[in-house]
Structure formats: structure tokens, C-alpha cells
Amino acid sequence: MSHTISPSTARIYGLKRVSLAWDVSRSTYYSRQKGKSTAKRGPKPKIDDSEVLSLVKKDIQESPFTGEGHRKVHARLKRKKIQVSRNRVLRVMRENNLLSPHRRPYSPPNDHDGIIVTGAPNVMWCSDGTKILTVNDGWV
């Protein structure tokens, strides 16, 4: 189209004018002329996502624990000499709804305002939240 001659001016339209009319950048035009693919750049992974998914499912089934997260699954795959990134394990687990559904239980907010007032003068309040495990007596 850029080499087409205008019937009114008898001049070539040109790539700049055609790309503006079609709302396409000139770099897009040139990349499509060369036949470049739209695949992701960079090195290709050794194993594809379907293999990663099967390895993750197998690891989750073999684990004696419930509610494993992507970090532990990635660590066990790494110990088995399977090279896959943690973010890829996270993405595969998220896409297939395999992430741990267990979250920290809800606890109500602490309504303590930081001011302690005694009911009478010369009264002292005290509390100790320390807990120590001893060999002979257990928790004290």
C-alpha cells in the first residue's frame, strides 16, 4: 500500500502516511515484513509448563503435609535437581488452583488504647508473659 500511487497527486503514498492512516507503527510494519515471530524472547525452558504441572502435582501428593505453598514445592523440586524458577512454579500453581488455601486465622483487633487506670490509689497491676521450657519441669 505504501508503494501505491495516489490518483489525485500522482505521487507515492509513502510508509509514514500509510502507517498513520492505519494507526500502526512503522516498526511493526518492518517486523512483519521480515517475518519475525511474536514468540517470547530469550532462552527456551528445558521443560514445558505441562511437565512442571505434573511434577508439582506429584510433589504435592508425595508430601506428608497439607497446604504446601509454592516456595516449599520449588525447594523440593530444586533438591531433585529439576531446574525451574520459583516464579514459574508459583504461576503454574496459581493457574491450576494448587496454592495453599490455608491462611492465618482471623484475630480480632486489640482494642487496648495503651492507658491503664487503677480503681484505687496505691494499687499496682502486673503481668508476665514469659514462658520457658525446662528439662525437669516442662513449661514454666
Q: What value does the mean pLDDT take over residues 45-71?
A: 90
Closest CA to 96 of 39, 55, 41, 63: 55
pTM of the model: 0.49
Q: Does residue 106 belong to any structural domain of this protein?
A: no
Indicate if the pLDDT at residue 123 is higher than 90. Answer: no
Q: What value does the mean pLDDT take over residues 93-122?
A: 78
Q: Which residue has the higher pLDDT, 119 or 73?
A: 73
Q: Does residue 17 belong to any structural domain of this protein?
A: yes
Q: How many domains does the chain have?
A: 2
Q: Does residue 3 belong to any structural domain of this protein?
A: yes
Using N-to-C axis directions, what is the helix angle for 26-34 and 15-22, rounded to 10°? 100
Indicate if the pLDDT at residue 53 is higher than 90. Answer: yes
Q: Chain-wide mean pLDDT for the chain?
A: 82
3 and 25 housed in the same domain: yes
Q: Does residue 11 belong to any structural domain of this protein?
A: yes
Note down the domain range covering 67.
Answer: 49-95
Q: Does residue 112 belong to any structural domain of this protein?
A: no
Q: Does residue 133 belong to any structural domain of this protein?
A: no
